[in-house]
Amino acid sequence: MNSLKRFFNETGLRSLAWASLISEILIVVTGGAVRLTASGLGCPTWPNCTADSLVTVPEMGIHGIIEFTNRLLTFALLLIAVLFLIAALRTRGQRKVLSTSILLIVGIFLQAVVGGISVLTQLNPWVVGLHFVISSAMISVSSIQLWRVYSPVVSRSQRSEGVLSLGLIVAGSIAILVGIIVTGSGPHAGDLNAPRNGLDSELWQHYHSYPAYIALTIGLMLLLIVRKRDVDGFASRLVFWSVFALAAQAGVGIAQARLGLPVGLVLVHMTLASVFVALLTLQRLALKQR
Q: What are the tens digits of pLDDT across the range 248-290? A: 999 999 998 889 889 899 999 999 999 999 999 999 999 875 5
Domain count, the chain: 2
**What SS3 state is found at 168?**
helix
87 shares its domain with 119: yes
121 shares its domain with 235: no
13 shares its domain with 140: yes
107 shares its domain with 189: no
CA proximity to 277, closest of 250, 235, 246? 246
The reported pTM is 0.91
- Helix (H) / strand (E) containing 63: helix 61-90
Three-state SS string over 172-238 comes to HHHHHHHHHHHHCCCCCCCCCCCCCCCCCHHHHHHHHHHHHHHHHHHHHHHHHHHHHHCCCCHHHHH
3 shares its domain with 145: yes
d(CA 147, CA 167): 21
Are residues 42 and 65 in contact, defined by beta-carbon separation less than 8 angstroms? Answer: yes
Pick from 6-10, 40-44, 102-106, 123-127: least confident: 6-10
Q: Of the candidates 123, 151, 179, which is a domain's last residue?
A: 151
Give the domain range for residue 35.
1-151
163 shares its domain with 277: yes
Are residues 267 and 29 in contact, defined by beta-carbon separation less than 8 angstroms? Answer: yes
130 shares its domain with 215: no
Q: Of the candidates 151, 177, 208, which is a domain's last residue?
A: 151
Predicted local confidence at residue 45, as pLDDT: 87
Whether the predicted pLDDT of 2 surpasses 60: no
Whether the predicted pLDDT of 126 surpasses 90: yes
CB atoms within 10 A of CB 242: 28
Are residues 164 and 225 in contact, defined by beta-carbon separation less than 8 angstroms? Answer: yes
Positive or negative, the CA dihedral 50, 56, 61, 62 is positive
Q: Of the candidates 100, 127, 151, which is a domain's last residue?
A: 151
- In this predicted model, what pLDDT tens digit does every residue of 43-83 receive, in sequence order? 888 888 888 888 888 878 888 888 888 888 889 999 999 99
